[in-house]
Amino acid sequence: MQDLICKYVYKDGKEFGESIDVYKDRLIIKVGTDFFAVSLDRVEKVEGDKVYIKDFDSKEAIEEGKKWIEEKSKPVSLEELKAYGFGEES
């Protein structure tokens, strides 16, 4: 699949928001202060810096967006940091 992050998202021919992540099978779209997690099967096409999406269940997308926020807001353990090379003294 094409790169979908950091693109303007259009729905019904109008700018809807900006894509900020792909998480599991969902495109995360920032719309104002809200985050929508829209199923990737709703992506119609990608043209340059624009992603076009089909209609989707807004209530479900907002609920899934809240789950994404919770997952991304979890604290990182020292073990996880070390696994990625952080916290090592030189």
Q: Please check whether residue 32 lies inside any domain of the structure.
A: yes
Domain with residue 74: its CATH number is 3.10.20.840
Q: Please check whether residue 1 lies inside any domain of the structure.
A: no
Residue range 69-81: mean pLDDT, rounded: 86
**Look-up: residue for tokens 């073990």?**
79
Q: Is 30:17 a contact under the CB 8 Å cutoff?
A: yes
**Look-up: residue for tokens 């807001």?**
73
pTM: predicted TM-score of the whole model, two decimal places? 0.83
User: Letter for the amino acid at 42?
Assistant: R
Structural domain count, the chain:
1
pLDDT tens digits for range 8-38: 999 999 999 999 999 999 999 999 999 999 9
How many whole angstroms separate alpha carbon 25 and alpha carbon 60?
A: 14
Could you tell me the residue range of the domain that residue 37 belongs to?
7-83
- Supply the pLDDT for residue 79: 86
